[in-house]
Amino acid sequence: MPAHLECITCHKQFPINQVLYQCSQCNDLLDVAYTFGSPDPKRLKVDFLNRKLSPVPQDQSGVWRFRELLPFLDRFDSVISLREGNTPLWEVPRVAREAGLQHLAVKHQGMNPTGSFKDNGMTTAITQAKLLGARTVLCASTGNTSASMAAYAARADIRAVVLIPEGQIARGKLAQAIDYGATVVQIQGNFDHAMQLVRELSGEGGAYLLNSINPFRIEGQKTIVIELMEQRGWRPPDRIVLPAGNLGNCSAFGKALREMFDLKLISRLPKLTLVQAAGANPFAQMIRSGSRNLIPMQADTLATAIKIGSPVSWKKALRALEWTHGDVVEVTEGEIADSRALLARDGVGCEPASASTLAAILKLSREKKLMFSEEVVAILTGHHLKDPEYILEYHEGKLSHKGAIIPARYQNSLHTVAAESQALKKLLFDHDK
């Protein structure tokens, strides 16, 4: 077997098929680690692309078509896949102008089967769960993990149990988890409490934990940035901007970039810019203070997908920042709300947490920390329709945080008129009023 589990701190190794989320020696996080050998990078690139034309499910998947970079299975013909990945990379020229950039592109992970990037990691983690003979899979979730896990567990015919913070997840996500047949339990606490509880519960009755502390989730999420490089002809951008909640995705991006560099698929590493909401910024605070010890906080933001005060993967995220000479930016509720609406004006809808990326780009631009020619890619993590209440409240001028209304710069009001053409003409064409 070329794959094993390896502690990120003491580097103790464990067999790939051991059910383990933390090092038994020092309790730190685990990586899935490989001995890759030295495959021909040109050959790999051709194989990745050609698989898109194949009718075989594991070739069509935008995760498994990159399987040489996630070789933890002996064979790939029984993977649990919903044809995840293969998401679009779009230029957003009008938004770019606003940000003072020559080019700006977004990679939209919301265009996945359950509407978020969690699908990229769930296909790999559920496949491993099935292999290990798990009878129940378990997660704590701010919403999207539960929707994704519930769908993939249903496909794999495994029982799904989801813990969510009561009243704090977007309606679209809750609807999905319930509909896919998961056992959904609201707890009277926040995400961090739910996370603590599932860690205590894992192992009970053969339950397997599918939060991003599970290193097999990270393996699938690596393909987001691998596919991005493919879409750019393997020319890395200068900077990749992504939201940071539990810090699993940044960890995956860091690992992917390192491995692509080592395999000579790319010749340099782009900078990773991680974005946190000002009310949920424990990682930003740690980096700012120059400390190497994360202090948990009580998280508070309307961008519920990143409302996390005690991120599990902070050490892997720190490693990703060091590898890529990256940085962390924090943005306000108002900046997130307006950025989300601004993207929508360019025909690109996304959920609030995803728009924190544009908020950070606009902020860096205002602070003259971006060059006009810099090539920037923002990762949009979740679908437009995940949180319609947030959108409507914004346009009604009712979106509020901590009791204060958030002014809506791109407000678009709903009109109501009598059902007759005179009234319509007056509303639509009478400019002399």
Site for ligand PLP in 356-415 (CB under 6 A): 381-382
CA distance 261 to 269: 7
162 lies in the site for ligand PLP, by CB under 6 A: no
Contacts of 331 (CB under 8 A, 6+ apart): 275, 276, 277, 278, 339, 356, 359, 360, 363
For the bound state, the minimum distance from the C-beta of residue 247 to ligand PLP, rounded and expressed in Å, comes to: 5
Number of chain positions touching ligand PLP (CB under 6 A): 18
209 lies in the site for ligand PLP, by CB under 6 A: no
23 lies in the site for Zn ion, by CB under 5 A: yes
172 lies in the site for ligand PLP, by CB under 6 A: no
Question: Closer to ligand PLP at the Cβ: 73 or 224?
Answer: 224
Q: Which stretch binds Zn ion (CB under 5 A): 16-24, 283-291, 336-344, 382-390?
A: 16-24
* Choice from 140, 149, 153, 247 touching ligand PLP (CB under 6 A): 247
Which tokens hold the place of 290?
Answer: 């120059």
194 lies in the site for ligand PLP, by CB under 6 A: no
Contacts of 100 (CB under 8 A, 6+ apart): 365, 370, 372
* Choice from 7, 16, 184, 210 touching Zn ion (CB under 5 A): 7
With contact defined as beta carbons under 8 Å apart, do 8 and 316 qualify?
A: yes
* Choice from 1, 26, 175, 424 touching Zn ion (CB under 5 A): 26
CA torsion, ordered 161, 163, 166, 171, to nearest 10 deg: -60
165 lies in the site for ligand PLP, by CB under 6 A: no
Site for Zn ion in 165-224 (CB under 5 A): none
With contact defined as beta carbons under 8 Å apart, do 302 and 399 qualify?
A: yes
Where do we find the tokens 């996630």?
70
* Choice from 13, 18, 22, 25 touching Zn ion (CB under 5 A): 25
* Choice from 194, 240, 305, 342 touching ligand PLP (CB under 6 A): 305
| 48-69 residues labelled b (16+ CB within 10 A) or e (exposed) | beebeeeeeebbbbbbbbbbbb
Contacts of 122 (CB under 8 A, 6+ apart): 84, 145, 148, 149, 151, 152, 210, 217, 220
Residues forming contacts to ligand PLP in the complex (CB under 6 A) are 116, 118, 144, 212, 243-249, 305-306, 351, 353-354, 381-382
Residues forming contacts to Zn ion in the complex (CB under 5 A) are 7, 9-10, 12, 23, 25-26, 28
